[in-house]
Structure 1
Amino acid sequence: MPPTNQIPTRSHTSPHIKTTLLISDKKFSNFVGEKDEDVGILQPQRRFTASQLLVARIIFALSCYFCYLKAETFQDWIDTCWGYLRDQWWFQTVYFETLLVVVYSFPPTFFFMIIDKISYFDKFRVSPKGGLIYSESMQDILFHAVEYILPLSILDTLHVKHYYGVTDDVIIQKRLNWIQRTRALPEYSPRLSDIIIHISVAIVIYDIMFFIIHYNLHKYQILYRTFHKKHHTHVVINAKATDHQNWIERIVFILSANAGLKVQGAHPFTRTIFVFVFVTILIYNHCGYDFPWTFDKLIPGDIFSGSREHYVHHAKGKRHYQFCFTYLDKGLDWLESRKKNKKL
């Protein structure tokens, strides 16, 4: 586990990445708030008002109600989109989901790189401005892309993807070939209700699996040093840190995310939408900003965690092991407090 009394001061990146340390303990203290008495760590202050939060929640509630009223319209749109997608060669390829993750990760990362230069958004920061500034050469960018794509592409090539709605005869025929190039896609589009349910359940399943794996990566030093340390070797958390992972750790988490979809027989269209939701949450958790209009604020009750909690996790290496739900971390706190009370 990384040191708990200071912020990491070196980034173990590729030799091609130039790093500059611009943060001191004094500057860091300007971005933290009240002490968390349970674990003795500092948490960032919230940078939005109650009125901002109320407006965001009202807009979110009205948007959900509008979607409910227009459910049939959305279903027609889904049917039309699926009719188009299933005939496209780039959607039929077995590598589509792997490549989609890579391609989609750039726009939100680029977005945070832009607002990082706009002073208006400084009030929403939980991560100090500046911090680790680094530039990547084209060689580094290509290396990271290949490091992500290659192992998953091998799995895509050798594995027959079996989706609900595709007959067994088609799957048996595809299994006669060792090399897979295209996916057998179902003829019909999914129902809107199935999309919502499958994505929601998949996130819940992944959150549980992520918590268990993530907690153990921190609990056991050999696992931390071998697989997880790379993800915590930075000075200030930012969107670029999202994919700063050991390749084995990355594959384990990706397969865990896929498991939640697989057990439900999720439609390929649902899986595509899940990629957008999944990557967006990952990048937001690491972005270093705490906006009032993000999912962890829009739903009351402290059900979801977000960038604020994940920032604390990266800063101190304790708590907040979850992907997005808070109940497991709260349960862990409760168990640890009981153990402490029994010892007393």
Structure 2
Amino acid sequence: MLPYRNIEEAEEALSRALSFAEKLWFKYSAKKPDHILHYHNIIFLMLFYTLAPLPYVFISLGGFKNMDKYKIQPKVKDSFFNMFKCYKDVMQTFLLVVGPLQVISSSTVQWIGIRTSLPLPHLSQVFVQIVVYFIVEDFSHYWIHRMLHCKWAYEKIHRVHHEYTAPIGLAAPYAHWAEILILGLPSFLGPALVPCHITTYWLWFVLRQLEAIETHSGYSFPWSPTKFIPFYGGAKYHNYHHYVGGRSKSNFASVFTYCDYIYGTHKGYQSHKQVLEKAKL
């Protein structure tokens, strides 16, 4: 909740006029308690999880034959029933696991320094913080994901996520409830180390989910803007990890590829690509 009764007070406190975005933020957040603003995160997660996979759903179920060449595992056919079941299961996990977690963690988020106050951050600051969050999340996710492929953890927890050997966008957050909690820690680690404004916090979790949906989409489009991101893994890279399943010793990274190359967990994927290239000759 902002400590100003009106925009004039806010401008006096900042010794300058509010920007258009800051005026909008003032009107929206001035009388909302911080914990209410924090709860927005689960709303955004559910909203973007519902909307972002829809293009992939339409392409997969719409019978667009010219799109089959972009499907990574074209022999695997998806059904509306399977997709709807996946969506229902994920939304249930959001409501029963992620939702209560948002409520419990609201005081922690405020304690680490996620602010709701004015001024809003500059776009350059937002960009740098988001990049840091992706790097921190990717490195920590790599090791936790690798741990989840140990025999006990895979059979008891991570196996659920690998039910989709040919992943679909809707299955990005499809996992055992314990895995949702465990892999939520790397996503939270970046903002904990480098606190930000709550709007950046929202943006970070939305972008992370959009990236996961694209990576699990099952399609590799040549026009995807993510292909211009250095060291970005992408759908083909992660698809191999699902294709191999429990036997996978490769491609544990969530976003980038450098950890797999540094620690040697890319070799299975490299061999797989060589086999495919030879088959084309």
> Please, what TM-score do these two structures have when normalized by structure 1?
0.63
- Give secondary structure in 2 for the equivalent of 1:288: coil
- Could you tell me which residue of structure 2 aligns to residue 197 of structure 1? 128
**Which one-letter code corresponds to 1:246 in the other structure?**
H
Instruction: Tell me, yes or no, if the aligned pair for 1:199 and 1:261 is still in contact at 8 Å.
Output: no
Alpha-carbon spacing, 1:312–1:80, altered in 2? closer, same or farther (3 Å):
farther
- Give secondary structure in 2 for the equivalent of 1:95: helix
- Could you tell me which residue of structure 2 aligns to residue 257 of structure 1? 187
How far does the alpha carbon of each residue in 1:291-311 deviate from its partner, in whole angstroms, 9 at most, with x for none?
1233442136xx111001001
1:26-45 maps to which residues of 2 (within 5 A)?
Answer: none
Task: Give the structure with higher Rg (CA).
Answer: 1
Report the alpha carbon displacement of residue 256 of structure 1 after superposing the two structures with TM: 1.8
Alpha-carbon spacing, 1:330–1:84, altered in 2? closer, same or farther (3 Å):
farther
Q: Which residue of the other structure, out of 187, 207, 211, is the alignment partner of 2:142?
A: 211
The range that moved more, 139-148 or 258-267, is: 139-148
Alpha-carbon spacing, 1:298–1:80, altered in 2? closer, same or farther (3 Å):
farther
1:115-264 maps to which residues of 2 (within 5 A)?
Answer: 115-116=59-60, 117=62, 118-128=64-74, 130-135=76-81, 144-159=90-105, 160=107, 161-162=109-110, 164=113, 185-218=116-149, 220-264=150-194
- Could you tell me which residue of structure 2 aligns to residue 86 of structure 1? 29
Instruction: Tell me, yes or no, if the aligned pair for 2:114 and 2:198 is still in contact at 8 Å.
Output: no
How far does the alpha carbon of each residue in 1:83-114 deviate from its partner, in whole angstroms, 9 at most, with x for none?
34424759944421022111111111111111
Report the alpha carbon displacement of residue 190 of structure 1 after superposing the two structures with TM: 1.0
Alpha-carbon spacing, 1:152–1:299, altered in 2? closer, same or farther (3 Å):
closer
Report the alpha carbon displacement of residue 230 of structure 1 after superposing the two structures with TM: 0.6
Report the Cα distance in structure 2 between the residues aligned to 1:325 and 1:271, rounded to whole angstroms.
21
1:52-67 maps to which residues of 2 (within 5 A)?
Answer: none
- Give secondary structure in 2 for the equivalent of 1:333: coil
Report the alpha carbon displacement of residue 261 of structure 1 after superposing the two structures with TM: 1.3
- Give secondary structure in 1 for the equivalent of 2:157: helix
**Which one-letter code corresponds to 1:83 in the other structure?**
F
Q: Which residue of the other structure, out of 258, 261, 280, is the alignment partner of 1:327?
A: 258
Counting matched residue pairs gives 242
Report the Cα distance in structure 2 between the residues aligned to 1:165 and 1:188, rounded to whole angstroms.
13
Unaligned runs of 5+ in 2: 1-17, 269-281
Unaligned runs of 5+ in 1: 1-74, 167-184, 338-344
How far does the alpha carbon of each residue in 1:154-211 deviate from its partner, in whole angstroms, 9 at most, with x for none?
3333341316485xxxxxxxxxxxxxxxxxx213211111100111000100001110
Report the alpha carbon displacement of residue 238 of structure 1 after superposing the two structures with TM: 1.3
Instruction: Tell me, yes or no, if the aligned pair for 2:252 and 2:265 is still in contact at 8 Å.
Output: no
> Please, what TM-score do these two structures have when normalized by structure 2?
0.75
Instruction: Tell me, yes or no, if the aligned pair for 1:292 and 1:298 is still in contact at 8 Å.
Output: no
